[in-house]
Chain A
Amino acid sequence: MDPAPCQIAGFEFAAVLDRYVRPLERYENELYRPPDGGLSHLGYWEGPPDQGWMYEWRKLAGWGGGIHWGAYGLMWLAEAPGTEQPVIDPEAVAQGILDSMPREPVEIGLAPTPLEQNPDSIGLVGAPVWMWVADPETTTWGPLEESVTVGGVTVTVTTTVEQVQWDMGDGGSITCGTPGREYRVAYGVRDSPDCGYRYEHTSRDQPGTAYRVSATSTWTATWTATTGASGALDAEPLTSTVQVRIGERQTIEIG
């Protein structure tokens, strides 16, 4: 015998309901649907009247030589069978959004010039060092915002850099809450107004006789959902590294 058909003249088998269902026509829906329709006495719907739909259901008693219907009736369903929306975890959706955002490590700006840009560059012990973010774009500093709608719920994630931690390679570190000011020769020898450092020792004992300077940008990320839920996310810090050589002024006494 052939298997029972999944669809029979407009009826579709809903496994979760173990019966065939067919949505009523609009006028029939208006007649029967709760809370004001002819089946309101069943009391199975107390929500907004424009939600859900009335369905005619039938049980299949057999299909040998033709369809044999068994029990039948009407029922209200919040969602069409098979189209139930998945349960949405907005925080998980938000984390997925954050993971796909085009965040990038900062491009380090440094005075003295990093060896990657000038192999002959050398700074001096005790002299001001300026650190800044050379490319403060939305991808390196934020803010970034992105929304995704899943199952009727829209989740929006906003992320931005909270601070950059500068590990100077000699054990010292500085945390700066701004991208920092770019150094210009015209400034002369002076301290950075917002993100600076001074080495106390030369880098001659370091691998390559240079300090390894890293800038780790820490991002904050928050999410909101149209359900009213909101929260914070853990955004992975992003790090970039350069090398800087620090020497000291030699004083030759002639005498």
Chain B
Amino acid sequence: MTRRTHAAVVAALVAAVAAGCGGDQEEPEPSDPSPATTEPALTAPPTTTPEEQAEAEIIAIFEDLIAAWDEFKSSASDYGGGSGIAWNVELVETWPLKAQASVELTNWVAVWRQTEIEQRGNSVIVGHEVATIQFDAAGSGLHEAASTACLDLSALRYVTFDEDVAELDYVPDRSQTWTMDWAFGPDKADWRLEAIDITRNEQC
């Protein structure tokens, strides 16, 4: 059972128990037309566990990252040129990346720019599962997580900087599976992607 399923079951159980309160009474009191004091358990939003919170944050950050990566690929002609040798490093520094992930994306950005093509369309995140989350496992305040996401790239098109259809000398990926390591804290209040391993064209 996944955490999400578990949470749904727990929520359902909470609702059932709450609905059954007072069920032993043979003659229920007539309902008071005036507003009654609301039971918090009935109306309060479901409590989010730390795991659920972390999972939601990682998924959202990854969505933003893929959107930024797409945005760059869609406007690559706007980058480089006279903006300095380290333009790609400066771009990637604005993304939530560290260590190997930062190195990889920096190189991917440079290589993509050198191909002088642009992407049309957006990557579709078909699924993203946060497999493990370890809160402060080493006692240092550092939280770690691992996740796997599958991207559907089948709808992407590629054009030259002149908007002609790009003639690629390779077959572009139709899908990619990103296996990722994440870190949070102890001082940084956001999850950041630390390592990426990509498997190409596996069925999502």
Contact = CB atoms under 8 A, between A and B. Distances in A.
Nearest to A31: B140
28 contacts: A2-B85, A4-B85, A8-B85, A9-B86, A9-B89, A9-B90, A9-B93, A25-B187, A26-B187, A27-B185, A27-B186, A30-B140, A30-B186, A31-B140, A31-B186, A38-B138, A56-B99, A58-B103, A61-B107, A63-B85, A64-B114, A66-B80, A66-B85, A66-B87, A66-B110, A67-B85, A68-B110, A69-B106
Greatest chain A CB density within 10 A among B80, B93, B103, B188 is at B103
Interface string B124-157: 0000000000000010111000000000000000
B113 interface: yes
Interface in B68-112: 80, 85-90, 93, 99-100, 103, 106-107, 109-111
B106 to A, nearest CB: 6
Given A63-B85, A66-B106, 9 more contacts: A31-B140, A64-B114, A65-B80, A65-B113, A66-B85, A66-B86, A68-B106, A68-B107, A68-B110
Contacts of B113: 65-66
Contacts of A8: 85-86, 89
Nearest to A66: B110
A66 B86 CA distance: 6
Nearest to A4: B85
Interface in A65-87: 65-69, 72
Interface in A1-50: 2, 4-5, 8-10, 25-27, 30-31, 38
Nearest to A71: B103
B86 A72 contact: no
Nearest to B103: A69
Contacts of A2: 85
B79 to A, nearest CB: 8
A66 B87 CA distance: 6
Closest 3 CB pairs of A and B: A66-B110, A66-B88, A27-B187
Interface of B: 80, 85-90, 93, 99-100, 103, 106-107, 109-111, 113-114, 138, 140-142, 185-188
Interface of A: 2, 4-5, 8-10, 25-27, 30-31, 38, 56, 58, 61, 63-69, 72
Contact of A65 (B89, B110, B142): B110
Contacts of A67: 85-86, 88-89, 106, 110
Contacts of B88: 66-67
Contacts, number: 61
A72 B99 CA distance: 8
B93 to A, nearest CB: 5
Contacts of A65: 80, 110, 113-114
B183 to A, nearest CB: 9
Nearest to B138: A38
A27 B114 CA distance: 36
Which of B85, B99, B106, B140 counts the most A-chain CB atoms under 10 A from its CB? B85
A174 B142 CA distance: 79
Nearest to B93: A9
A31 to B, nearest CB: 6
Contact of A66 (B100, B109, B138, B186): B109
A56 B100 CA distance: 11
B55 to A, nearest CB: 23
A5 B83 CA distance: 13
A236 B91 CA distance: 65
A243 B88 CA distance: 84
